[in-house]
Amino acid sequence: MLLLSALAASITLLSPGAAQTKLAGINEARAYYLALSGLNFWSPGKTGSYTLATGTFILNQTGPDAGGYYTVTSLGRVSPGLPSEANHQLTARRKSAKPINFDDDIDDFILPTVGQGTNNARSILVFDSDLADAPPGLSEHEWATLWADNVNRYAGGWVRLGGGLTNSHGAIWYGGDYDAGTCSNGRCTLGRGLRAYFAFAFFGYDDSNDSTRCADGFTFAVVTAANDPATAVGGPASGSRGEYLGYAGPGPSGHGIVPPKIALEVDTYPNKGRGRTTDVNSRADAGNANHLAVLYWGDAATPYDDNTHGAGTSPVNPEKQSGGYYEQARRGNGPNWLEDGQPHSLRLEIHRSDAGGGGDYQVRAWIDPAGEGHADVTADYAAQTPQIEHRVTLAAADHAGLDAIRFGWTEGTGGQSQTVAIYDFSLDFRR
Ligand SMILES: [Ca+2]
Ligand SMILES: [Ca+2]
Ligand SMILES: [Ca+2]
């Protein structure tokens, strides 16, 4: 994708009418994007000079060091030997295996589980740049039309959640092989944790006072592979429960997504009730504001409270007063925070270690991070304080249950609908 970005940037910069006097500045920018393209292009052993339409990048590597890291330099060069020559060099520390990312791996995301409703075949769809076979529940003709209408929205491919449906719920899990056994058929060794980054956009624009025009949001979830098959998904046994976000509830299988599990919810609809978790309006959302929150699983005896804030004892799903819940109120007469139709991005890190017979887990998340390295999942992010920071100790059995995990997204809608794009995804494990 960055190769494409570089070309797009240069096309923009070279649009007719660009003043010659700006050429030096333009070439500086081109050199920078070339260097960035080089870093993105690199994999172990790929060194030397590579020429694109706009210039050249030159890759060098040293390593790997004892931790398996290479130091990679990428020199972007434009117009060598001319007065307008520009060079820009970037250096990065890179693991031997490239992070899992949509550009290379989107076809490894397993097609969604079709839920109980009649229309849920479309609750989650994957738009790969290559046309895959029709997902379950769609004819080849329907799928080809949908694909053609959507594939070009985001370079590198994207996952569409919600699909404009009411009463939908779905989950999609990574199902690939990665880095010599770290992941096998989507079952991944969590080790010291992981780092993930992705962009998202809610297509709906919700400027209602109480954030009730669109619903309900989604989660990025990391769940036990020991107990959850690749078809695991939540949702209600009956009735309309978008508030479960496809993360809570028994789902079509009756088992839902069983614990242990950790997720970050992006919740756009207020369900503030604190009654029985099988009832409508029972998530204990703190207010009307769009919010992010860390989710575990509530009481292990029921799937219905898995995304109810305050549910559970060890661990407890975080409430507003904790570091595990972050909200932003609607501003003035504008849209609700995340439901503005604009691109947003999310970075999540889970830091995991053994502690006292169980496991220490630190969940950190940044919304719309902008500091240096914010999208680099090969290193911990230190440039900005996370908006979400929550730490728990899990009991030995739960800790062991997260030795092998699946990761992916869940979504749910009820009486209102949503369409959400997930794109520019990458993930790497901390080792
Ligand atoms: Ca909610
Ligand atoms: Ca919530
Ligand atoms: Ca539960």
404 Cα–ligand 3 center, Å = 20
* Residue 7 in this model has a pLDDT that exceeds 70: no
Looking at the CA of 308, name the nearest ligand: 2
Query: How many Å lie between the centroid of ligand 2 and the Cα of residue 215?
Result: 12
The answer on pLDDT for 6 being more than 60 is no
How many Å lie between the centroid of ligand 1 and the Cα of residue 242? 8
pLDDT digits (tens, 9 = 90+) for 139-167: 999 999 999 999 999 988 999 999 999 99
Ligand 2 center from residue 262 Cα (angstroms): 14
Which tens digit of pLDDT belongs to each residue from 54-77?
899 999 999 877 767 889 999 999
Arithmetic mean of pLDDT, 177-206: 95
User: Which residues hold their Cβ within 5 A of ligand 3, which is an ion?
Assistant: 297-299, 302, 305-306
Compute, in angstroms, the gap from residue 304 CA to the centroid of ligand 3. 6
The answer to whether residue 181 scores a pLDDT higher than 80 is yes
Give the ligand at the shortest distance from the Cα of 309.
Answer: 2
Ligand 1 centroid–CA 281 distance in Å is: 8
The alpha carbon of 89 and the centre of ligand 3 are apart by a number of angstroms equal to 50
Which sign does the torsion angle of CA 400, 401, 406, 412 carry?
negative
Q: How confident is the model at residue 18 (pLDDT cuts 50, 70, 90)?
A: very low
CA of 251 to the centre of ligand 1 (A): 18
What value does the mean pLDDT of the chain take? 91
Q: Around ion ligand 1, which residues have CB less than 5 A away?
A: 267, 269, 271, 283, 285
**What predicted TM-score, i.e. pTM, was given to this entire model?**
0.80
CA of 259 to the centre of ligand 3 (A): 8
CA of 366 to the centre of ligand 2 (A): 17
> Ligand 1 mean position to 133 CA, how many Å?
34
